């Protein structure tokens, strides 16, 4: 499998595209005016404690106060996905925090929609191979490192190196990228994290809340740290300044990747190389067309994302069960890609077409699991439920692609549909009757969109005449070209 990373840098935004076998799989966007804050560490001030929610709001200097749950004050979850924790008893939030208290916190989830940032007090500082957690003694290993001998080698190496660094206390998570990494690289990472931790502690002691004490690396450098793998063939950057900064980072921390990073000076926009721009536009649509003729419908709501599969124009060749199976199998591949590309997170419900054959169900389920193994975000999938649904979760820390690039439609207010012209006409009739009872006017002027006025003068003309007779007043109509289909005004003359 060939893999390339394209990095497009402009003064207003940075965009990263992960391309596998010539097909866009993931897209990341960071805008100068609205940078992501996941991983940032703040010295905040508790502004409100909510016993009924076992949580508190913390002012960290943003427009909206951030949210911290009692469980995150005790143990924290940031960066520790690989650690398995059993159920815990959560103490009363009032015994943990009080209003006006200073608190050192780290952002685990960006502000999304109307919700503020999510916080934890368990700090975690990532590097290429390790995540350092001050105040924790545990050493965890990524579950994606499956070789037992390699897991033992890495753990032993970290334990010995930690024992020699007695001046620094903390635990570690060994990241997937550390698999087969040389011992000197891991120890170098450890020393870097120790220096960074000391620097953070010094700044915490100096600043007054609310203030930022540590900011994560910019997107184009985080890409090198988190996304580049041995199987990555090329990393192309279209900004010379950013390329030079990346090379400085590479030569200091990941020298083995120096040969794969290159500056792209071409006149053709870098995102045109693999039709990345077109794929991003397609990812904003509800409908995903399958090659067979079937299609997938993706609806994102605040609580969850629902995905529906249909055979569409695909009629198959053998029988109905085989047609359904092939459509579901193709959809499973497409869905895994769309989840990554659109950066959909939280609860996801997939309604595959009903399959009678249990073996077909197992194969579709396995295909979805296999394709999601490439996902950088943590996912968890259940089996097929009694209703024929597959339920899954995908870790959400930042806004989805649609939330970054789009906003709710001001015409339909995010509903995705408009009232019909017929419905609006009947609303106008009711409004005229209401106004006629309340006010004394000689006649009425209805101002509405072209489509609504056309219907009033054509299909609804008899109803308009009856209404004029009933109220004994004339009604005139005026087209307002800037009105949406649902907008209208009834003016008294």
pLDDT at 95: 86
In order, the DSSP letters of 442-463 are SEEEEEE-HHHHHHHHTTTHHH
pLDDT at 351: 93
Strands 346-351 and 390-394: antiparallel
- Confidence band of 77 (pLDDT split at 50, 70, 90): very low
Strands 232-237 and 3-9: parallel
CB neighbours of 469 closer than 8 A, spacing ≥ 6?
Answer: none
pLDDT at 336: 94
Is the predicted pLDDT of residue 66 greater than 90, yes or no?
A: yes
Question: Stretch 79-86: mean pLDDT, rounded?
Answer: 43
Q: How many CB atoms lie within 10 A of CB 144?
A: 11
Is the predicted pLDDT of residue 86 greater than 60, yes or no?
A: no
Is the predicted pLDDT of residue 192 greater than 70, yes or no?
A: yes
Lowest mean pLDDT among 175-184, 240-249, 309-318, 411-420: 309-318
What's the rounded Cα separation, in Å, for the pair 139 and 359?
40
Question: Stretch 145-170: mean pLDDT, rounded?
Answer: 83
Is the predicted pLDDT of residue 475 greater than 80, yes or no?
A: yes
The answer to whether 1 and 21 have CB atoms below 8 angstroms apart is yes
- Confidence band of 87 (pLDDT split at 50, 70, 90): low
pLDDT at 161: 83
pLDDT at 277: 92
Indicate where the chain has its CATH 2.40.50.140 domain(s). 41-214
In order, the DSSP letters of 348-393 are EEEEPPP-S-HHHHHHHHHHHHHHHTT-SS-EEEEEE-TTS-EEEE
- Confidence band of 75 (pLDDT split at 50, 70, 90): very low
Q: What is the pLDDT of residues 325-379, one digit of tens each?
A: 899 999 999 999 999 999 998 999 999 988 888 898 889 999 999 999 888 888 9
Q: Considering the chain, what percentage of its residues have pLDDT values greater than 70?
A: 95
Quick one: tokens of 211? 């203030």
pLDDT at 7: 95
Question: Stretch 75-91: mean pLDDT, rounded?
Answer: 49
Under CATH, what is the fold of the domain 3-34+219-277?
Nucleotidyltransferase; domain 5 (3.30.420)
The answer to whether 295 and 287 have CB atoms below 8 angstroms apart is yes
pLDDT at 53: 87
246-250 long-range contacts, CB within 8 A, separation 24+: 246/220, 246/221, 249/217, 249/221, 249/224, 249/225, 250/224
Lowest mean pLDDT among 22-26, 30-34, 211-215, 458-462: 30-34
pLDDT at 394: 92
- Confidence band of 466 (pLDDT split at 50, 70, 90): very high
CB neighbours of 109 closer than 8 A, spacing ≥ 6?
Answer: 38, 117, 118, 396, 397, 398
- Confidence band of 316 (pLDDT split at 50, 70, 90): low
pLDDT at 242: 94
Indicate where the chain has its CATH 3.40.1260.20 domain(s). 421-492
Indicate where the chain has its CATH 3.30.420.60 domain(s). 3-34+219-277
Lowest mean pLDDT among 89-103, 391-405, 427-441: 89-103
Q: C-alpha dihedral over 357, 359, 361, 366, to 10 degrees?
A: -170
Highest CATH level, class, for 41-214: mainly beta
CATH of 421-492, one of 3.40.1260.20, 3.20.20.150, 3.40.50.720, 3.40.50.2300: 3.40.1260.20
Rounded to 5°, the CA angle 139-143-146 comes to: 110
pLDDT at 297: 95
Question: Stretch 64-73: mean pLDDT, rounded?
Answer: 90
Question: Stretch 373-398: mean pLDDT, rounded?
Answer: 86
| CA-atom Rg of the chain in angstroms | 29
Quick one: tokens of 382? 């259940």
pLDDT at 470: 94
pTM above 0.85, yes or no: no
Starting at the earlier edge strand, list the strands of the sheet with 304-310. Answer: 287-289, 295-300, 304-310, 346-351, 390-394, 379-384
> Measured between alpha carbons, how far is residue 478 from residues 475, 485, 491 in Å?
10, 14, 11
Task: Classify residue 343 as left (phi > 0), alpha (psi -120 to 50) or beta.
Answer: left
**CA-closest candidate to residue 382, choices 392, 372, 393:** 392
- Confidence band of 80 (pLDDT split at 50, 70, 90): very low
- Confidence band of 1 (pLDDT split at 50, 70, 90): low
Q: b/e for 152-175, b at 16 or more Cβ within 10 A?
A: eebeebbeebbeeeeeeebbbbbb
What's the rounded Cα separation, in Å, for the pair 36 and 343?
14
């Amino acid at each position: 499998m060939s893999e390339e990373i394209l990095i497009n840098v402009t003064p207003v935004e940075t965009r990263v595209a992960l391309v596998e076998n010539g097909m866009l799989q993931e897209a990341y966007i960071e805008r100068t005016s609205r940078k992501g804050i996941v991983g940032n560490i703040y010295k905040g001030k508790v502004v409100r404690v909510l016993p009924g929610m076992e949580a508190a709001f913390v002012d960290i200097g943003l427009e909206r106060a951030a949210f911290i749950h009692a469980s995150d004050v005790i143990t924290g979850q940031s960066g520790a996905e690989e650690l398995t924790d059993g159920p815990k008893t959560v103490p009363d939030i009032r015994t943990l925090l009080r209003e006006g208290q200073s608190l050192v916190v780290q952002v685990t989830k960006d502000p999304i929609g109307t919700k503020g940032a999510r916080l934890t007090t368990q700090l975690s500082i990532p590097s290429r191979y390790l995540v350092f957690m001050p105040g924790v003694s545990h050493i965890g290993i990524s579950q994606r490192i499956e070789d037992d001998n390699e897991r033992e080698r890495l753990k032993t190496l970290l334990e010995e190196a930690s024992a020699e660094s007695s001046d620094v206390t903390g635990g570690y998570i060994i990241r997937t990228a550390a698999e087969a990494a040389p011992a000197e690289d891991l120890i170098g990472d450890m020393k870097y994290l120790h220096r960074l931790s000391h620097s953070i502690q010094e700044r915490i002691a100096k600043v007054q809340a609310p203030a930022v004490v540590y900011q994560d690396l910019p997107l184009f450098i985080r890409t090198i740290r988190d996304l580049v793998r041995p199987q990555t063939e090329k990393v192309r950057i279209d900004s010379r300044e950013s390329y030079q900064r990346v090379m400085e980072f590479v030569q200091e921390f990941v020298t083995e990747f120096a040969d794969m990073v290159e500056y792209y000076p071409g006149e053709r926009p870098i995102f045109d190389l693999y039709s990345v721009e077109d794929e991003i536009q397609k990812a904003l649509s509800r409908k995903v067309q399958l090659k067979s003729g079937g299609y997938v419908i993706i609806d994102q709501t605040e609580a969850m994302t629902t995905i529906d599969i249909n055979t569409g124009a695909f009629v198959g060749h053998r029988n109905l069960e085989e047609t359904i199976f092939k459509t579901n199998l193709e959809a499973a591949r497409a869905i895994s890609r769309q989840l990554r590309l659109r950066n959909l997170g939280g609860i996801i419900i997939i309604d595959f077409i009903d399959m009678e054959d249990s073996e077909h169900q197992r194969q579709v389920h396995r295909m979805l699991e296999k394709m999601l193994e490439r996902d950088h975000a943590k996912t968890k999938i259940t089996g097929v439920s009694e209703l024929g649904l597959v339920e899954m979760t995908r870790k959400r820390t930042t806004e989805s692609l649609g939330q970054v690039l789009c906003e709710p439609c001001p015409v339909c207010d995010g509903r995705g549909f408009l009232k019909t012209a017929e419905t609006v006409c009947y609303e106008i009739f009711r409004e005229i009757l209401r106004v006629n009872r309340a006010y004394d006017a000689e006649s009425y002027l209805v101002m509405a969109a072209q489509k609504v006025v056309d219907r009033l003068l054509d299909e609804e003309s008899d109803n308009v005449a009856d209404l004029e007779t009933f109220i004994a007043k004339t009604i005139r109509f005026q087209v307002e070209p800037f009105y949406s289909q649902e907008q209208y005004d009834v003016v008294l003359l």
